[in-house]
């Protein structure tokens, strides 16, 4: 979604609360722009998200940081052996 905004707006854009995350660049002869999508930090086990309990693919839990104009997506560690792993995934 952010990349679409980059193309429409002609400037770097960040969007949040998505089920996926990442950075995609658009470069023209004048400049480099980026679109960064960051995941949400929802609790998939909360009652508000009970509708998705049977879905095997979970949201990407992540945040975005821009340092000196460089975007970076930082995923929350939720896999096996990582700090926030939940064996019900």
- Coil, strand or helix at 47: helix
pLDDT value of position 85: 60
CA–CA separation, 24 and 6 (whole Å): 10
Q: Are 23 and 73 in contact (CB under 8 A)?
A: yes
Return the domain boundaries, the chain: 2-75
Give the tens place of pLDDT for each residue, 52-69.
777 777 778 899 999 999
Give the tens place of pLDDT for each residue, 23-45.
999 999 999 999 999 988 877 77
């Amino acid at each position: 979604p952010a990349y679409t905004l980059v193309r429409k707006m002609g400037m770097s854009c960040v969007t949040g609360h998505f089920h996926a995350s990442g950075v995609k660049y658009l470069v023209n002869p004048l400049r480099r722009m980026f679109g960064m999508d960051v995941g949400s930090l929802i609790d998939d086990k909360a009652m508000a998200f009970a509708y998705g309990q049977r879905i095997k693919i979970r949201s990407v839990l992540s945040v975005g940081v821009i340092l000196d104009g460089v975007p970076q997506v930082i995923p929350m560690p939720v896999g096996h052996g990582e700090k926030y792993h939940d064996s019900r995934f």
